[in-house]
Amino acid sequence: MEEQLAENVAAVQQQISEAAKRSGRDAADVCLVGVTKYVDVATTRALVAAGCQTLGENRPQVLWEKAGAMQDLGVHWHMIGHLQRNKVRRTVESTALIHSCDSLRLLKSIDDAGEQLGKSVDVLLEVNVSGETAKHGFSPDEIASVIEAVEPLGNLRVTGLMCMAGLSSGQQDVRREFDLLRELLESNRGNAPANVQLRELSMGMSRDFDVAIESGATLVRVGSSLFRGLR
């Protein structure tokens, strides 16, 4: 298993380098977030040993459990899935970054938890770039007003935007959706309050992270490609 994982991590890193090179970017500016939702703690540990130091989970309880069981490793945990407000506090305790902030009420809860824990919490705003109704996230034209509305939330730092391409989007649509997220980041940079520093773009999964990097992704969330060939 260790060998297969090391091979998979190297292959993904190679793809990241090539996509960065194609678009005149530095591969060091793209962080691989290893999405471990398919595997148990033992395999997750092996992934860390294979060189993946930033991990993502989409279910809060699983994230808490794994973060607790792997405290000795000092990895960075990212929450990437839908978060309910009653799960905010423990998630804030366990994570370095919450990608999936999709409502102002959730952002306020995270800010409250940050205050209680004496912690400044880094978050991304999730944007529904495909318009698919099953998708979470703010609509693109809400982002400017959300950015204004977080100004008083002093325990929060909005460091960027996150999206998932539409499930039924073809290659061209996917690229257009990723470009839209980058344009949103750029167009909202100018008039943002002090706790909003728009620099991260979390976009791209196994099937499309190379396209996402060409469009400016700084965080790619890759799961299945890392666990290929394991049984």
Residues at the contact surface with ligand PLP, assessed by CB under 6 A = 35, 37, 58, 80-81, 164, 205-207, 221-225
CB 221 → ligand PLP: shortest distance, Å? 4
State the minimum distance, in angstroms, from the CB of residue 155 to ligand PLP: 24
Of 95 and 155, which CB lies nearer to ligand PLP in the complex structure?
95
Pairing of strands 97-101, 121-126: parallel
Centroid of chain to Cα 85: 18
Residue whose CB is less far from ligand PLP, 20 or 164: 164
Judged by beta carbon, residue 35 or residue 153, the one nearer ligand PLP is: 35
Which residue's beta carbon is nearest to the bound ligand PLP? Answer: 223
Q: Which of 187/224 has CB closer to ligand PLP?
A: 224
Nearer to ligand PLP, 37 or 87 (CB): 37
What is the smallest separation between the CB atom of 143 and ligand PLP, expressed in angstroms?
19
Give long-range contacts, CB 8 A cutoff, 24+ apart: 23-26: 23/213, 23/214, 25/213, 25/216
Nearest Cα neighbor of 60 from 39, 40, 43, 85 is 85
**Residue 209 CB, nearest distance to ligand PLP (Å)?**
8
Which tokens is 61 given?
């309880």
